[in-house]
Structure 1
Amino acid sequence: MRVWNGDLGSEHDMLVVGAGAIGLTAALVAADAGARVAVLEKAPYLGGTSAVSGGMFWIPMNTRMSALGLTDDRDDALRYLRAVTDGRTADDVLAALVDRGPEMLDFLERRAGLRMAPMDNFPDYHPEWDGAHPGGRSLDPELYDIRQLGELAESLRPDARLPFTMREYEEWRIFTRFPTDMLEQRAADGLVARGRALVAPLVAACADAGVTLVTDCGAERLVVSDDAIAGVLTADGRRIDAQAVVIACGGFEWSPEMVDNFLSGPVHGSCSPPHNTGDGIRMAAKAGVRLGSMREAWWGPMVLVPGDETDGAQTGTLLRFERTGPHTVIVNRNGQRFVNEAHNYNDMTKAFHLFDPGAYDFANLPAYLIFDEQHLREYGFLSHRAGQPTPSWIRTAPTIAELAALLEIDPAGLGATLDRFNANARNGVDPDFNRGASAYDQYWGDQHAPHPALGPVETAPFYAVEVVSGVIGTKGGIVTDGDGRALDAFGDPVPGLYAAGNTTAHPMGPGYPGAGATLGPGSTMAYAAGLAAVAQLGLRPVST
């Protein structure tokens, strides 16, 4: 156990389990009202999955949109959310997201100095749906000078990636076009971006507010007294009493048992730190809390690159432009396409889970992304560049038939698939899966190409990587109301218990409305939970 700020006593007004952006938001709300708050983090760093994420918030009706001349509508946002969540999220929760999201954002700017810029051209993930918005609901953190944290900078989870903002990603788009020298100088100057730029000011604000920040200190059980939550028991046997407990310690993607028991498809990779093992969900279940959406996850197609590890565990790399740009296809063992490769990563990965009852196996696993020399030459592929020795995790062959043989997939099927795909791609159409037809597909493609999301796979040599069914995190767990209060099996609040983020039955249900929909709604519910806890403690919020 390491205490980075404050003193960990045997009693606090409020305990927060989990030190990602969501847990830190709840802690800051309560501390700002005068509560004695401690944050307990199981991992050796503060920041959780948030610190290695894109760091974006999806917030409808946010006030930053007006600065760009953009408008939003509450009814539009609610209609869109009802569609994305497939009617599975309670209306009071959806209303809380739309109404309190802008409040949360303004609070974090005032209290933590968090600066978020709207992505004016970044469309919602289903831009053609009723109530969707063409841009502005997704917000990107401004660069942050981590040297402001002083010694606390060492507490923040590291991220080896270069510090570019998502707005810069939007401008440059292709990694071979990034100004690497400038970005390396930024890193040397202590500037951080994306997830770390979100978490760092929250850590600083919590420390300034007197929040006790502790790492290597996991919580294992809730203390229950007179049917109310009264504290936690830590992994090392310590009891810490509190009138309010907020659980915000992530999902269960790193628990093989829970993954096998609950999720709708396999998990062969995750880009989250390996500490999300369902601790908070199990703690809550033992205390009689209702669980929901346990089959849901933030799915994503991933590649397992040898040596890409977090805290000693192999992590997955999410495929973005590598599958949405020209000159690529994804096929199954029969050499057949089965999905629009450029669709949003959450929903397109669900196609990997199609079950074949005859073979009693997943029809689309294993899957392979096929690309050609033109794609590699123009864009590179993740860290690999044309002209470099081909790494072991990329297979290559001079012909499509030979590549199929290496992959042990049907060569005739792959050949026929590429003949049809290439003929249509030259004309910028995909009659099979409509790739490139959506504004979302176009956004994530190459804006300088004749067809941003389409191009034939025809220039030898040819390359392939196995694409696995991965998750950013799970999103099933504790059911809460619009105030972030945990509910029991009968729908009544459990006194003293709150939850937010991937530990909960996430408000987004099975869907993904836009970039930042993990952190934005999660932080909004943490803000609501913090306010509810403050009211329970008999305190009054100050900066809200």
Structure 2
Amino acid sequence: MSAALTAAIEGLDVLIIEKTPFVGGSTAVSGGAVWIPNNDQAAGLGHADTPDQAKLYLDQIVGNWSSDTMKRAFLDAGPAMLGYFERHTQVKLVARAYSPDYYPATPGASLGGRSLDPLPFDGRTLGKDFARLRDPLKEFVVLGGMMVTMTDVQHLLKVTSSFASWRHGMAMVLRYAGDRLRYRRGTRLVLGNALAGRLFKSVLDRQIPVLTETPARRLVFDGGQVTGIVVDHEGREIAIRTRRGVVLATGGFPHDPERRKAFLPDGIGLWSMAPEGNSGDGLRLGEAVGAAVRQENSSNIFMTPVSILTRSDGEVVKYPHLVWDRAKPGLMAVNGAGRRFVNEATSYHEFGLAMVEGDKTQPTIPAVLICDAAFLKRWGLGLALPGGRPFRHLVEAGYLFEAPTIPDLARQLSLPADALADSVARFNRYAKQGRDPDFGKGGNAYNRYLGDAEATGGNPCLGPLDQAPFYAVKVYPGDIGTAGGIVTDGHARALDAEGRVIPGLYASGNDMNSVMGGTYPGPGITLGPAMTFGYLAGKDLARQPLGA
């Protein structure tokens, strides 16, 4: 949608084709953060930034996994993209006053300003097309369809103890109750659903046609350039001729088993949070006309630990342990030997990498997240929601493990009881001291940002496991999208194996090989580049000579 909007604003005729019945893709089910260094809002929040500072940070984290050309293209165009969309579309983003980069001690890192969130969006303004906007993940809603942010959850947990929280919560619930009289879910959209909704409303405002349930079959390649695309629409193939070009943005290959097997380490199953329609179509279309698809990245997926519930009817529910529970005081992660292996408060991507690396020497897939009764009530654990919500069904389903003692929990999990008891005792000593010398939980600004904001001790990420019963869930190295993709230049133009531009072909989003090279520098490093290189593709298309 970013590419389509830019091209349309620049005066081109645009068509969006979508394989599934729904618009929004991975964006609609995401947290919605957009990472754009040196944006116009950052300085006003006390985080003055420069392209050189951001480049220094990317050089430290991304290194040679991405070229200077691609890094500079992103850093230079990102702020311009934000201003362009602010002026011409419904997209409204607000920078976070405090949101550390994921490696905050690294030269060039920032403690805030670089990540932006979409303002809440009223889905009712989409009219009948609200039904075509992809639903958010079920884990991002409460009461069956009311979207919530982390701030909303904090208020809802305090509705009986704070008047401000009661007022906030009541306004949300009353709005949602009214929505359910007319809609199948709430219309107050937040997170990635708000961003997708704002983009979609902008597309509708520009009268850009969107053909849903229209999978792409092949590109038309004529005279050494892409001149069209063949799609399957309403049961028949249609060849669509293009005068400027085609932008591939099909969401990467998270649900392509063959490419996952070829691109990912052993031991990683099909544990993706991305929509199932994202099955590698764009990469296959590009390869068929000579586009290079890169496999040599730091990682070919953006990782997150995922817990899995199999319901009695066979439905599989995956929960991504992104930012809510792992950094809080009183949660510990162990491997199959009953030993800690990672800083639990590290980024979701680093946690996933640690599982894969640890599994090379000791069983670490699955790993186990462990907490006590006090933690479960206050913070929840995966699908076991906080605030004393019912969870017995999760125990009976084999998702949540419950035991009166740590040795009993170890036996349920098939872990060495002595080792687990020793790990818990060691963890509890560190919690009392307020320092984790083994893995440094709570040792940097990013950890503490996600810890307990109301903690009175010296470390908001450390707390004991000492109130029986004890609980655990198993987690697997899942993903929120893919990083390996079509190689492009700084204008999002697809390149062949020799580095030559393929005229008429562009790639953006997760179809484009990540400008981060499969690393994860901060919150929003998929959506920020997706919007930026979509914008760059649209701008470049407008500069191309008119085709036949």
TM-score by length of 2: 0.88
1:176-215 alignment, distance < 5 Å: 180-187=169-176, 188=178, 190-215=187-212
Q: 1:155 maps to what in 2?
A: 132
Seen in structure 2, the aligned counterparts of structure 1 residues 36 and 356 have a Cα distance that, compared at 3 Å, is closer
Of residues 480, 488, 503, the one that matches 1:495 is 503
Q: 2:343 maps to what in 1?
A: 340
C-alpha distance in 2 between matches for 1:487 and 1:389 = 51
How far 1:182 sits from its partner (Å)?
3.4
Q: 1:134 maps to what in 2?
A: 111
C-alpha distance in 2 between matches for 1:149 and 1:437 = 45
Of residues 340, 347, 352, the one that matches 1:349 is 352
Of residues 378, 398, 405, the one that matches 2:411 is 405
Residues 176-231 of structure 1: CA deviation (Å, up to 9, x unaligned): 77755433334445321111211112112222223111111111211110110111
How far 1:242 sits from its partner (Å)?
1.2
Greater Cα offset, 67-76 or 382-391: 382-391
Q: 1:301 maps to what in 2?
A: 305
Seen in structure 2, the aligned counterparts of structure 1 residues 371 and 229 have a Cα distance that, compared at 3 Å, is same
Verify: 1:416 aligned to 2:422, yes or no: yes
How far 1:84 sits from its partner (Å)?
1.8
Whether the 8 Å CA contact 2:220–2:230 is kept in 1: the answer is: yes
Q: 2:279 maps to what in 1?
A: 277
Identity %: 37
C-alpha distance in 2 between matches for 1:180 and 1:339 = 36
Verify: 1:472 aligned to 2:480, yes or no: yes
Seen in structure 2, the aligned counterparts of structure 1 residues 85 and 324 have a Cα distance that, compared at 3 Å, is same
Seen in structure 2, the aligned counterparts of structure 1 residues 214 and 537 have a Cα distance that, compared at 3 Å, is farther
TM-score by length of 1: 0.89
Seen in structure 2, the aligned counterparts of structure 1 residues 508 and 73 have a Cα distance that, compared at 3 Å, is same
Greater Cα offset, 294-303 or 451-460: 294-303
Unaligned runs of 5+ residues in structure 1 are 1-23, 540-544
1:235-384 alignment, distance < 5 Å: 235=232, 236-243=236-243, 244-264=245-265, 266-293=268-295, 295-306=299-310, 314-354=317-357, 363-382=363-382, 383-384=384-385
C-alpha distance in 1 between matches for 2:372 and 2:217 = 50
1:48-59 alignment, distance < 5 Å: 48-59=25-36
Q: Amino acid of the residue matched to residue 209 of structure 2? A: T
How far 1:389 sits from its partner (Å)?
4.5
Q: 2:41 maps to what in 1?
A: 64
Seen in structure 2, the aligned counterparts of structure 1 residues 371 and 529 have a Cα distance that, compared at 3 Å, is same
How far 1:314 sits from its partner (Å)?
4.2
Seen in structure 2, the aligned counterparts of structure 1 residues 176 and 226 have a Cα distance that, compared at 3 Å, is farther
Whether the 8 Å CA contact 1:143–1:165 is kept in 2: the answer is: no
C-alpha distance in 2 between matches for 1:254 and 1:357 = 25
**Secondary structure of the residue that 1:377 maps to in structure 2?**
helix
Q: Amino acid of the residue matched to residue 225 of structure 2? A: A
Seen in structure 2, the aligned counterparts of structure 1 residues 357 and 94 have a Cα distance that, compared at 3 Å, is closer
Q: 2:6 maps to what in 1?
A: 29
C-alpha distance in 2 between matches for 1:408 and 1:73 = 51
C-alpha distance in 2 between matches for 1:287 and 1:308 = 45
Q: 2:231 maps to what in 1?
A: 234
Seen in structure 2, the aligned counterparts of structure 1 residues 296 and 308 have a Cα distance that, compared at 3 Å, is farther
Q: Amino acid of the residue matched to residue 320 of structure 1? A: V
Seen in structure 2, the aligned counterparts of structure 1 residues 233 and 318 have a Cα distance that, compared at 3 Å, is farther
Of residues 163, 169, 172, the one that matches 2:154 is 172
Greater Cα offset, 387-396 or 221-230: 387-396
Q: Amino acid of the residue matched to residue 254 of structure 1? A: H
Of residues 92, 96, 111, the one that matches 2:88 is 111
Q: Amino acid of the residue matched to residue 479 of structure 2? A: V
Q: 1:520 maps to what in 2?
A: 528
Seen in structure 2, the aligned counterparts of structure 1 residues 222 and 467 have a Cα distance that, compared at 3 Å, is same
Q: Amino acid of the residue matched to residue 278 of structure 2? A: N
Residues 82-118 of structure 1: CA deviation (Å, up to 9, x unaligned): 2221222111111111111011111111111221111
Q: Amino acid of the residue matched to residue 356 of structure 2? A: H
Greater Cα offset, 81-90 or 128-137: 81-90
Number of residues paired by the alignment?
509
Seen in structure 2, the aligned counterparts of structure 1 residues 260 and 527 have a Cα distance that, compared at 3 Å, is same
Residues 478-500 of structure 1: CA deviation (Å, up to 9, x unaligned): 00111100011110110000011
Residues 159-183 of structure 1: CA deviation (Å, up to 9, x unaligned): 25233456x36x9399677755433
Whether the 8 Å CA contact 2:255–2:270 is kept in 1: the answer is: no
C-alpha distance in 2 between matches for 1:198 and 1:302 = 24
Q: Amino acid of the residue matched to residue 66 of structure 2? A: T
1:75-86 alignment, distance < 5 Å: 75-86=52-63
C-alpha distance in 2 between matches for 1:111 and 1:402 = 60
Residues 395-433 of structure 1: CA deviation (Å, up to 9, x unaligned): 100011111101111111111111111111111111111
Q: Amino acid of the residue matched to residue 516 of structure 2? A: M
How far 1:71 sits from its partner (Å)?
1.2
Residues 265-313 of structure 1: CA deviation (Å, up to 9, x unaligned): 503422221111111011111111111146511100111234599xx87
C-alpha distance in 2 between matches for 1:117 and 1:470 = 29
Q: Amino acid of the residue matched to residue 342 of structure 2? A: V
Whether the 8 Å CA contact 2:304–2:320 is kept in 1: the answer is: no
Whether the 8 Å CA contact 1:274–1:313 is kept in 2: the answer is: no
Q: 1:429 maps to what in 2?
A: 435
Whether the 8 Å CA contact 1:292–1:479 is kept in 2: the answer is: yes
Seen in structure 2, the aligned counterparts of structure 1 residues 205 and 321 have a Cα distance that, compared at 3 Å, is closer
How far 1:67 sits from its partner (Å)?
3.3
C-alpha distance in 2 between matches for 1:39 and 1:318 = 33
Whether the 8 Å CA contact 1:303–1:319 is kept in 2: the answer is: no
Whether the 8 Å CA contact 2:104–2:445 is kept in 1: the answer is: yes
C-alpha distance in 2 between matches for 1:477 and 1:431 = 39
Whether the 8 Å CA contact 1:84–1:510 is kept in 2: the answer is: no
Residues 355-374 of structure 1: CA deviation (Å, up to 9, x unaligned): 6667xxx6311211111011
Q: Amino acid of the residue matched to residue 363 of structure 2? A: A
Whether the 8 Å CA contact 1:304–1:317 is kept in 2: the answer is: no
Unaligned runs of 5+ residues in structure 2 are 160-164, 180-186
Verify: 1:221 aligned to 2:218, yes or no: yes
Seen in structure 2, the aligned counterparts of structure 1 residues 459 and 186 have a Cα distance that, compared at 3 Å, is same
How far 1:354 sits from its partner (Å)?
2.2
1:439-458 alignment, distance < 5 Å: 439-449=445-455, 450=457, 451-458=459-466
